[in-house]
Amino acid sequence: MYCPVCFQNALKIKSNGVIKLAFNGKSRNNSLFTYNLQKETQEQQLVKLREKVVDFFSFYAEFNNKTPIKTFEAYSCDFVCTNGCKIDMNTKINVVSVVFTAPLVKAMLVEEGKKFGITIEVNFNS
């Protein structure tokens, strides 16, 4: 990944940190979870992701005027540049395709969306 400071392909995700989720640019205070790439399997990380998706969808399903979910962000600021650049704590870097594969995330969103009557129009290719 490219560092936002030096623009070199030197950005690496830390072995542990926090991932924050946003749906259509909105998130809840509890729409975040920790990860540990050295101690957790991808299945364990997907379980955590699913729990947070279900939590948000159960909250969102109560709305009267629900718009389809068109954007989904899973981001973290827990990255380091191998060149030693100081990464701003407010920098949000997408972890879809880094920690989770886009097809798995899309399938999860669609599956859980159906359970809660929420239309999913997320496209990770754009």
Residue 79 C-beta-side C-alpha neighbours within 13 Å: 27
Distance of CA 33 to the CA centre of its chain: 10
Average pLDDT over residues 93-113: 92
The SS3 of residue 89 is coil
Distance of CA 88 to the CA centre of its chain: 19
Of the spans 24-28, 49-53, 75-79, which averages the highest pLDDT? 49-53
Average pLDDT over residues 90-111: 90
Residue 126: what pLDDT? 47
CA 11 to CA 33: how far, in whole Å? 21
pTM beyond 0.75 = yes
CA 41 to CA 3: how far, in whole Å? 26
